[in-house]
Structure 1
């Protein structure tokens, strides 16, 4: 399902929702254990897992971007800076597993926004597949499909 994208007070909010048929512990590990994180977002590494801690983004050119963890509650909340924006994961236990809300607070909409949103969409799909013991063979093809839909959704905001 496409993320909900709406204008909020001083920017925009994209909200993704996923129901995982896996425990909060397993989903949390996908977000915070560097070995599991590498499986769905190889450029990210948790440096210090705590509020005020950091996550590192490997720019693939020998440089790294430091992102600050702005909110942290074990097994529940992980929020961090994403350039000028903010990314937040919230996990809630359900009888059949875990409900995940992922939000990206966007300061502005740029031509890069649909690319990022499609990327997050595919990342969440990859987490689901990994937890289910499946693989998404062609992430690029999946991204291209979602990119077009996010491009249209973002265009409607302007």
Structure 2
């Protein structure tokens, strides 16, 4: 399911809803514990898990370059929000439900540009990889073919926003 993109004050919010057959605690561990996080989002490493804490973004391009991302909001097993891009943010919200939980990922995008569809497709595929990991399937490599397919769909989605 494509992210729903809505216009808000100052930009847009892309919202991905994923209904999971896993507990809030298991999903929380997958988005906050480095040994699990690295298996679906290898660029990120949690340094200090708290509001105002730090997540390191590793370029993973062979240079060893990285930069710090500030955690903007944090409530254990409920909310993790951090800076993303120049003036955006990403927010994970977990809601318990019978037999599992609802994972909501929101990305605030201040300016739609040529990179937006790539970023949206990236989050889409990362969520698919996360869900596979939770279901016991690990991807050795990022599924680039899946990303290409979703990228084309997000290009169309962005074009529709602009009309």
Partner Cα separation in structure 1 for residue 142 and residue 74 of structure 2: 32
Q: Quick check: 2:39–2:138 contact (8 Å CA) kept in 1? A: no
Picking from 110, 134, 157, the partner of 1:107 is 110
Q: Which deviates further from its counterpart, 68-77 or 4-13? A: 4-13
Whose helix fraction is larger, Structure 1's or Structure 2's? Answer: 1
Are 1:121 and 2:120 an aligned pair?
no
SS at match of 1:111: coil
Partner Cα separation in structure 2 for residue 65 and residue 9 of structure 1: 28
- Give TM-score scaled by structure 1 length: 0.96
Listed as ranges, the gaps of 5+ residues in structure 1 are none
CA shift for structure 1 position 134: 2.2
Picking from 147, 150, 157, the partner of 2:151 is 147
CA shift for structure 1 position 74: 0.2
Listed as ranges, the gaps of 5+ residues in structure 2 are none
Deviations 1:83-139 (CA, angstroms, capped at 9, x unpaired): 220100000111110101000011100100111100000111111111111245761
SS at match of 1:42: coil
Q: Quick check: 2:24–2:100 contact (8 Å CA) kept in 1? A: yes
Partner Cα separation in structure 2 for residue 101 and residue 7 of structure 1: 17
CA shift for structure 1 position 55: 0.5
Are 1:70 and 2:72 an aligned pair?
yes
- Give TM-score scaled by structure 2 length: 0.93
Q: Which deviates further from its counterpart, 4-13 or 45-54? A: 4-13
Alpha-carbon RMSD: 1.2
- Name the counterpart of 2:56: 56
- Name the counterpart of 2:27: 27
SS at match of 2:39: helix
- Name the counterpart of 1:17: 17
The count of aligned residue pairs is 158
- Name the counterpart of 1:157: 161
- Name the counterpart of 1:5: 5
Are 1:131 and 2:114 an aligned pair?
no
- Name the counterpart of 1:82: 84
